[in-house]
Structure 1
């Protein structure tokens, strides 16, 4: 199908479908139950950028940035960009040890319920088989349909397949290669490097503010139509249960096309009989149309609308790099609990090595999360927020890019979830001592009646007393733990 034919097909589907290309119609779409119940997903940044494994997943841009350390590293390691450009990493990207079955099995054992591979990053190399981009993993490099194989294994092993497209930003992403003699200027590779539009708004110190500002310069019509068709192909070929987009789609130029592709996606899903959602950043969509996502961060309170945070096991990069720093399993579990207690999901990224294997640090973090969720997941999966999300003074900083440091929880810090007549009180920093939870104090008239308290991980019934200052749970040797513990509080 040509681009023009696909655009006509999109119009045809939307004209006949329930959802129309306006926010009023699209706001009738509900957040899927599967998504609200799943709580924990795996994000994957895997691509050509995994080969240089230096700096971060923006190597494809930064290697052409004269002011960036990647520029100097590239010349010293591979030679000048006119002789060895980003495209020349593709034959080195072989994924020789990629094993889709093992990947999905590992994620399943970690307790994840959905999987979100980056199907195409800003570098323009698609990790899936596509009619609209010859620069894809099925056609060159690994010569494997990486995304297709992951979807097949998700279906076999019972995890929900989702997908992420960062294609929008490719419009300008490689543009710094225009400033000097590099292969970005070679018209033989224009279909890979893209228009690589060079203008002051997308250079130097103006870059970040300009691309974040929805009123700033946007892409042209040709690019927007191309982006729409490529996204529609992802929807039709791979039927993801969630579509995740990165930041630039909040630009005002995208708005008509966002409505178009959103209606198409929701209408197609209705044809399939499946529930889907879109995850977005900033204000790309109205809050009742899709699911808001906070990158590497958190919200300060319970959100009335369902949301998601995405973070990475590695602090320095979303993709594999040789000198990454990694979060502990304890921190990741605490961040998961915090997100769920505020009516959100936790999407955790890892960056496989170029050969398709995981780092020891990624394996360890996933194993620790899986072990914890195997005995504490009852209060996570399918749960809801309670009347308050926390007790104690320790909070996670609100907003994006606040996920790097360890949070200094104390023995007085708790997070709460609720499900089916039980309140789950997560003790964030356990100690072998009596536990006092003020939220369960006795109150005249409005008193919360409690039948029993048990330790979720062991099933052990616990002795407790209540007064007007709180509920005291008597100490048990089982309280000794390096990970959060959960008290399962049965209501009368």
Structure 2
């Protein structure tokens, strides 16, 4: 009885040791493997350059991956910058075709197990019914709580629901070099924030406002996942790190559910690595990480939000990336960018459905799995760290990734082998990883048992000449008792 009472009374203190004493990354997250990220806001109205249009429309010059001039685009299409400012896109952001249930159904068909929309980006516009700023989606633009609608729809489809906060960068986001710009008008300081000196640390006023907005998201929407962008790791935010983590984890206790806090600082300077989930932006790990982690990346190359001339990755590439991440104890959070009217671009939709089709056939090698003794084999190297994805080459059939579940080993080749003949060198006779005799090999992707032999050069599998799906090919390997 004493232990039960102590468990009921436990509260996390704003102290790393207190948090470490109790918190573990929940099994549901480790099992989920694949989530959908959503960058959606007024920056979808110009649909140009990138989601950083709110900032770059005040900078006259070429910038961003698109290498375009946002300032010139704004002046050509909307009028003189400063007279027409970012605030003026908000009434044009109507989301008139937004259908939360249709979105959630699509994400479920894509194979996602959790969904994380952006609650507020650097632009300062709250994509939820904020109690601390008038610049929010319930009072302006769509004039409805799209976050609430999406949360209900996602959860009704059996998925977990999260929220991301990028607001920490808002204080230093908008250029203010021209005194006549609306970014310097005190009337709009609650959107653009007050002018600050270069290099200045966040003021108490900003930290308090950040706290109010962040806890408002937590309290209202009870997110299963709370994701933070790089801004929270900037100098001057250290005073809120342990308190916000304790606040969120205590809310999880109040709600009776296990929650996940995600941050990007790989050096563990903001949050110790064992009390949160590390998130890597547009990058991966080179090897298995003992602690669970996540990659956040996007279907698009240029932007996180919707733009009209996006360059899209292939579903084949993204599936290879997902499989590699899972083999190393990670999850993938894949971003799409809906249009301003609330529709999801056809390219985004097709990529998600392709991934869903593959996962429907091969998901047993992904969901609920854990890493094997090695992540895989093959000639194609993976670059590690934030923003490293552009350095990665396409995979070949000799690139194999391993996962395991319930005593079964899964080997997934990341391309089709010539003639359907696959050789897995790490499972050669006498290999150092597993001395047990192989009992059977089943071709999951093809839905059939296959001929195989274990010899000194490897496990040689004859899958037949028919390629049953695109992207990658899964074999279920059982060992003799």
* TM-score of the superposed pair, with normalisation by structure 2: 0.93
Q: Please state whether the residue corresponding to 2:279 is helix, strand or coil.
A: strand
**1:34 maps onto 2:28 in alignment:** yes
Counterpart in 1 of 2:40? 46
- Range moving further from structure 2, 397-406 or 164-173: 397-406
Which consecutive residues of structure 1, in runs of 5 or more, have no partner in the other structure? Answer: 1-15, 202-216
| Per-residue CA distance 1:166-186 (angstroms, 9 max, x = gap) | 111111111x13434211111
Choose 436-445 or 163-172, whichever is displaced more. 436-445
- For 1:126 and 1:301, the matched residues in 2 are separated by 37
Which piece of structure 1 moves more, 143-152 or 468-477? 468-477
| 8 Å Cα contact 1:340-1:417 kept in structure 2 | yes
For residue 177 of structure 1, give the secondary structure of its aligned residue in structure 2: coil
Aligned-partner Cα distance in 2 for 1:323–1:378: 36
**Distance in 1 between residues matched to 2:479 and 2:472, nearest whole Å:** 22
Residues 440 and 448, structure 1, Cα contact 8 Å, conserved in 2: no
The answer to whether the 8 Å contact 1:178/1:184 transfers is: no
Match for residue 439 of structure 2? Answer: 451
Indicate conservation of the 8 Å contact 2:35/2:115, yes or no. yes
Which residue matches 1:184? 183
Distance 1:225 1:200 in 2: 20
Whether the 8 Å contact between 2:317 and 2:394 is mirrored in structure 1 is: no
Alpha-carbon distance in 1 for matches of 2:184, 2:210: 22
Residue number in structure 2 paired with 1:10: none
What is residue 212 of structure 1 aligned with on the other side? Answer: none
CA distance in 2, matches of 1:92, 1:158: 33
Pick closer, same or farther for the CA change 1:100–1:444 going to 2, 3 Å: closer
Q: Cα 1:444–1:315, aligned 2, differ >3 Å: closer, same or farther?
A: closer
Structure 2: stretches of 5+ with no match in the other structure:
1-8, 63-68
Aligned residue number for residue 75 of structure 2: 75
Q: Which residue of 1 aligns with 2:5?
A: none
Q: What number of residue pairs does the alignment pair up?
A: 460
Q: Which residue of 1 aligns with 2:428?
A: 441
Contact 2:167-2:231 at 8 Å conserved across structures: no
Q: Matched residues in 2 for 1:441 and 1:406: separation?
A: 28
- d(CA) in 2 for partners of 1:470, 1:36: 30
The correspondence for 1:363, drawn from 325, 349, 372, is 349
> CA offsets per residue over residues 6-40 of structure 1, 9 Å max, x none?
xxxxxxxxxx7521111111223101111100000
Tell me the equivalent position of 1:318. 304
What is the aligned partner in structure 2 of residue 224 from structure 1? 207
- How do 1:479-490 and structure 2 match up within 5 A? 479=467, 481-490=469-478
**Is residue 442–residue 448 contact of structure 1 (8 Å, CA) maintained in 2?**
no
Deviation at 1:195, TM superposition (A): 1.7
Q: C-alpha separation between the residues in 2 aligned to 1:365 and 1:196?
A: 42
Aligned counterparts of 1:420 and 1:458: Cα–Cα separation in 2? 21
Alignment CA distance shift 1:478-1:170 (3 Å): same
Q: Deviations over 1:334-362 (max 9, x none)?
A: 00001000000000000011011111110
The alpha-carbon distance between structure 1 residues 351 and 444, as it changes in their structure 2 partners (threshold 3 A), is closer
- In structure 1, the partner of 2:4 is none
Task: Provide the C-alpha distance between the structure 1 equivalents of 2:379 and 2:82, rounded to a whole number of angstroms.
Answer: 55
Q: 1:351-390 alignment to 2 at 5 Å?
A: 351-390=337-376
Identify which of 258, 266, 270 aligns with 2:249.
266
Q: Is the 8 A contact 2:184 2:195 kept in 1?
A: no
Alpha-carbon distance in 1 for matches of 2:442, 2:218? 45
Looking at structure 2, the residues matched to 491 and 237 of structure 1 have their Cα atoms a distance apart, in angstroms, of 49
Distance 1:478 1:37 in 2: 31
Instruction: Compare 57-66 and 374-383 and name the one that shifted more.
Output: 57-66
What is the Cα-based RMSD across aligned positions, in Å?
1.6
1:241 aligns with 2:220: no
Matched, 1:61 2:49: no
For normalisation by structure 1, the TM-score amounts to 0.91
Instruction: Give the match's secondary structure for 2:236.
Output: helix
Displacement after TM superposition at 1:482 (Å): 3.1
Aligned partner of 2:458 among 459, 470, 474? 470
Counterpart in 2 of 1:169? Answer: 169
Q: Is the 8 A contact 2:289 2:329 kept in 1?
A: yes
Kindly indicate whether residue 11 of structure 2 is the aligned counterpart of residue 18 of structure 1.
yes
2:449 aligns with: 461
Which residue is equivalent to 2:260? 277
Shift of 1:406: 6.6
CA offset digits 1:283-328 (Å, max 9, x no partner): 3311011000100011111111110000000000000001110010
Q: Distance in 2 between matches of 1:321 and 1:405?
A: 23
CA contact (8 A) 2:383 2:392 kept: no
Structure 1: distance between partners of 2:421 and 2:82: 67
Gap change, CA 1:444 and 1:480, over 3 Å in 2 = closer
C-alpha distance in 2, partners of 1:228/1:258?
A: 11
Match of 1:333 among 313, 319, 343: 319
User: Distance in 2 between the 1:393 and 1:351 partners?
Assistant: 33
1:95 aligned residue: 95
Tell me by how many angstroms 1:468 deviates. Answer: 2.4
Residues 17 and 122 (structure 1), Cα distance of their counterparts in 2 relative to 1, 3 Å cut? farther
Give the match for residue 205 of structure 1.
none
> Counterparts of 1:358 and 1:190 in 2: how far apart (Å)?
32
Once the two structures are TM-superposed, the CA of residue 400 in structure 1 deviates from its matched residue by 1.5
Offset of 1:475 from its aligned partner?
Answer: 3.7
1:157-200 CA-partner distances (Å, limit 9, x unpaired) = 111000001111111111x1343421111111111111242x34
Deviation (angstroms), 1:479: 3.8
Over residues 129-152 of structure 1, what are the superposed CA-to-partner deviations in whole Å (9 max), with x where a residue is unaligned? 111111101111001111111001
